[in-house]
Amino acid sequence: MNRTADDSAIGVHAKTGMVRASAHMVRIRIYALLLALDVTAIILGVVMAIPLRVTHANWFGVLILLLPLFVTISFNSKAYSVDALHSTETGIWASLQSLFLSYTLLFLTYYLFKVDPLASRLIMICSAVAAAILMYGFREIVGQWLIPYLGTSVTAEILIVDRVPLGERASIGTVDAEALGLRPDLQDPTMLNRFSQVIRGLDRAVILCPPDARRAWAMMLKGAGVRGEIIVEDVDELRPIGVGALDGRFTLGVSAGPLTLRNRAMKRAFDVAVSAAALIAMFPVLLLIAIAIKVDSPGPILFRQRRVGRGNAFFDILKFRSMRVESSDADGARSTQRDDNRITRVGRLIRSTSVDELPQLINVLLGHMSIVGPRPHALGSLAGEDLFWEVDERYWHRHALKPGITGLAQVRGFRGATHTRDDLVLRLQADLEYADGWRLKRDLIIIFATFKVLVHKNTY
């Protein structure tokens, strides 16, 4: 029996070894592709910037110095890592950080040591900006199209099922512990070896087992040298977000609470700086829009509507008025439809380009909103025939942060009318993902991505 089980374990290891080798090969190819695209972005950035100013500088020499700097820094910043593949945002941020640091060192080298006095600062700055834009675009294409297409083949993962019905088919490879003669026995070196044969070299091992076996399996995983996880269905309804401790006892975290004082200060300073600068820079445009609205139809320039903000508190959002006064919907119970007869001529133009949202910069300055965050909804908003909070009880969780002018849901294309319950659920998932661990770098990436969706098929 033991001999048969050992043979089975070896057979499974051979199978997982093939999976591991395949996953590693796929990852290496993706890393090579990302590196090639990053280097291409840098080269194109320099080539695109050179025509801005004619000099006799040795730009080939610039690339000879810049590219090795970038490659060295990017590998150390984990721009080519499993984390970068799992999260496009992580990969983008790591590569852009590496690019910034590489150009910084290049500047110091050229201008402190006067390597090439003819090298233009303007070209270097413009080439860095162009390279950053191209790098962002290339990484987005790989992250949004190639990696999802490859699916689970990027990492080597396995689910071990121990005397528990699996139910639906798992998205990763599954093995039956009982069929392999596997059991969580820390007193049996042979069993530990058999377990090692099964999971050796994997990136992740997940265990589904009865409650009384979880501790033993956890102990097995701790010495296995892989990322180990145990499915705990008992706490699914609590939807935990982490683990804490109190008086020597472990606790399940179920809410993130507000940002830390440091993060609140960073986010607020960023909001004030961006909103104030934007209002000043765009004042002539805002004035022209206000005049056009006033000339086009009678009524106020701004439209106010009660929305749900941080902590589920109410506030009045400001927008350029795009509908006729007599047709305005203060509660937001009726979603705007294509060719909606309530919308004015100017309103149709400013809605299609998202310009009607610009007065919300004032909400940001007043502290009601943030530049980036979950979009605030009207109290009467419907998903199909149901109020938003009737569709999913997690709806209220999205208000742990201030609402934003733009957000993760918007840059993923989840905009416009919510005709079905799924329309809301998709936005809610994105909002909850954003609220799970705020980072300034993610705000910057979302702002950058917003420019791609200012004009969208669902904006009308």
**Tell me, what's the pLDDT at 70?**
94
Give the Cα-Cα-Cα angle 48, 54, 56 (nearest 5 degrees): 105
CB 358 within 8 A of CB 290: no
Residue 230 burial by Cβ neighbours in a 10 Å radius (0-12, 13-18, 19+):
middle
What residues form DSSP beta bridges with 204?
157, 227
Could you say which DSSP state residue 170 is in? P
CB 195 within 8 A of CB 224: yes
**Tell me, what's the pLDDT at 415?**
76
Phi, psi of 245 (to 5 degrees): -150, 150
Q: Whole-angstrom Cα distance, residue 203 to residue 195? A: 15
Q: Whole-angstrom Cα distance, residue 268 to residue 291? A: 31
- pLDDT, tens digit only, all 460 positions of the chain: 455 555 554 455 545 555 565 777 888 889 999 999 999 999 999 888 777 655 555 667 778 888 999 999 998 888 888 888 878 888 999 999 999 999 999 888 877 766 666 666 777 888 899 999 999 999 999 988 888 877 656 777 888 999 888 877 777 778 888 888 888 887 888 888 888 878 877 778 899 999 999 988 988 888 777 788 888 887 877 777 777 777 777 787 776 565 776 788 889 999 999 999 999 999 999 999 999 999 988 889 999 998 988 878 889 999 999 888 776 666 555 556 556 778 888 888 888 888 899 999 999 999 999 999 999 988 778 887 888 888 887 788 788 889 999 999 888 888 777 778 888 888 888 888 887 768 888 898 899 888 877 765 555 4
Q: What is the CA radius of gyration of the chain?
A: 27
Sketch the domain layout of the chain as residue ranges.
2-152, 156-235, 261-453
**pTM to 2 decimals?**
0.55
